[in-house]
Structure 1
Amino acid sequence: MPICVFDIAPDGTARPPAEDRPLGEGYRWWHFDLSDPDLPEFLAAEVPDIPAAALTAPETRPRADTYGDGLILNLRGVNLNADGPADQMVAVRMWITARMIVTVRVRRVFALNTIRQEAEAGQAPSSPMGFVGVLSAGLMARVQDTVFDLGDRVDAMEDSVVDDASPLPPELAEERRMAIRLRRYLGPQRDALAALLSTETDLMTKGQRARLREQTNLAKLAVEELEALIARMTAVQDHHTARAAEAQGRNGYVLSIVAAVFLPLGFLTGLFGVNVAGMPGIETPWAFAALCGGLVILTAVAIWILRRMRWI
């Protein structure tokens, strides 16, 4: 059985349908879960084949297409359920005519739940396209909240760039993947809303078209913001990578200078450390002091040569 069914009058009042009461001048909203065993039978009786196939497709993408006197509309919203992250977006599949709306979901969609609660309170959208406008506004409001929260976290990551002693934020990779996944889904949603806005249909009034234009603009803004966030996180990653490479190069440079200074010293100490007959100075008391003095002089000469060559 459906999750809910409402007969909604032109003034927005809603009530469950009754067999002894005709629909009247409004429209009927049917809301199903995709796993409902009664859904195929209902669609076969009430919905044309192509829209019915779109409502039950295993995979969906945002779309807005006309079919006969109705609209096939798929939209997505952020996943606010406890069973997955926000960027694992939830889909709403819709078939819309002047007298009926059929919505199908896989996971709970909070924007639809809000409309259901408003319908129970007698404040449902007064027309099918008014329903679409309220739903798209609810979906985009939650998308905007998610994108803005991500933006705040990216701001905090950028603050780490100011402090060179701070390490690479450990959450950077996951936040970047989240932004990419959101961008992947919201790009088609922006296009679907733009296609719906340009659709010539008698279902949509001038005022509803104007409100839908605002939701389309919000979708464009969300996509642009996500693209900017991806670029900013890439810049943070590049900064930390460059800083690590600079530190590694600086450390390698210091080690190279130390090796250049101590290479001749190591050669001499190794040479004078061999335990064979004939080594000079074995019987001379001041030979060790002379060797140490020579090493000091050799070190000074090596440093002078490196400075002349502008290595240090």
Structure 2
Amino acid sequence: MPLYIYDILSDGTATPTTDTSPTGVSGYRWFHFDLKDPELPQWANAHLHPIPAGALLQTETRPRCDVHDDGLMLNLRGVNLNSDGPADQMVAVRMWVTDQTVVTVRMRRVFAIEDIRKALEAGTGPDSSAAFVEALASRLTERVQNTVFELADQVDDLEDAIHDDDDAPLPDNLAELRRTAIRLRRYLGPQRDALMALAATDTPAGNSPLHRRELANLAMLTVEELDSLQGRLTAINDHHNARAAEAQNRNSYILSIVAAIFLPLGFITGLFGVNVGGMPGVDNPAAFTILCISMAAVSVVSLVVMRWLKWI
């Protein structure tokens, strides 16, 4: 059985009912199902055309907006505000809408639908099926925008950290932020297209399309913001990679300079360390001092030559 059924009048008031017929006496009738409901396939196949019935029963969906006869097949997604997953693990709403019937199917709880139900119980619900679609799309879009704005604030903080300290360490949450932006963009791109298609259709008849066009515009701005965030996160990651590579190159360069200075010194100590006859200075008490002074002079000459060659 549906999670709930409402008969909704033109003044926005609603009456719960147990009648499973697709239409009521007046206004429009709203059915809300859980996809796991075992009676849903039987009800959909008995009361709906096979095409919209199949669309409602699909396990995997993507945002879409298609007109079929006198109705509208609409799939939308919203951010997951349930405790069973992150916000970017989005929830889907499958819809079939005519002038007199609205059918919504969800797999997980959708808070935007809960908002509409509360409005209906308060007597201020959508007064037509078209208004229902717009109300649901508006609430889903608002929550998506809030999530994207929160993500943008976190990216702003990362950029501010770089501005304050160019040598700031790589943020621990950078990779997760990039994955979140990618997952959101994956679903919100098709959702933008679905809302643009919704703005261009007049089925089901009802409210002015101005609100629908505004929703499509907000969806487009959200997708553009996500594209911008992906680019900014990539720039932040590239900056940290460049700084790490620069530090590694600098350390390698210093080690190379040190090795170059000690190379002739190692040769000298190795040469004077051979245990064979005829080594100069063996019987001279000042030989070690002379050797140390000579090695210091070689080091100074090496530094001067490197400076002259602009190696340092």
TM range (shorter): over 0.9
Greater shift, 209-218 or 98-107, is seen at 209-218
- Change in 2 beyond 3 A, CA 1:71/1:311: same
After superposition, residues 215-226 of structure 1 pair within 5 angstroms as 215-226=215-226
1:17/1:23 contact within 8 Å kept: no
Partner in structure 2 of residue 310 of structure 1 = 310
Provide, for residues 122-170 of structure 1, a one-character-per-residue CA deviation record: whole Å limited to 9, x for no partner: 2220000100111011001100110000001001111222212310001
2:71/2:204 contact within 8 Å kept: no
Partner in structure 1 of residue 15 of structure 2 = 15
Query: SS of the residue aligned with 2:311?
Result: coil
Q: How far 1:201 sits from its partner (Å)? A: 2.8
Partner in structure 1 of residue 287 of structure 2 = 287
Unaligned runs of 5+ in 1: none
Provide, for residues 17-56 of structure 1, a one-character-per-residue CA deviation record: whole Å limited to 9, x for no partner: 266xx93320000000000011112112221110000000
Partner in structure 2 of residue 265 of structure 1 = 265
Greater shift, 38-47 or 142-151, is seen at 38-47
The one-letter code matched in structure 2 to 1:103 is: T
Partner in structure 2 of residue 128 of structure 1 = 129
Greater shift, 296-305 or 29-38, is seen at 296-305
Number of aligned positions between the proteins: 309
Q: How far 1:202 sits from its partner (Å)? A: 5.1
2:29 pairs with 1:32: no
- Output the TM-score relative to the length of structure 1: 0.96
Distance in 1, matches of 2:272 and 2:222, equals 74
2:187 pairs with 1:175: no
The one-letter code matched in structure 1 to 2:203 is: T
Greater shift, 197-206 or 97-106, is seen at 197-206
Unaligned runs of 5+ in 2: none
Distance in 2, matches of 1:10 and 1:18, equals 20
Identity %: 58
1:194/1:216 contact within 8 Å kept: yes
1:7/1:14 contact within 8 Å kept: yes
After superposition, residues 144-163 of structure 1 pair within 5 angstroms as 144-162=145-163, 163=165
CA-atom RMSD, angstroms?
Answer: 1.4
- Output the TM-score relative to the length of structure 2: 0.96
Distance in 1, matches of 2:204 and 2:168, equals 59
Ranges of 4+ aligned residues in structure 1 off by more than 4 Å: none
Partner in structure 2 of residue 143 of structure 1 = 144
- Change in 2 beyond 3 A, CA 1:18/1:81: closer
Query: SS of the residue aligned with 2:11?
Result: coil
Partner in structure 1 of residue 62 of structure 2 = 61
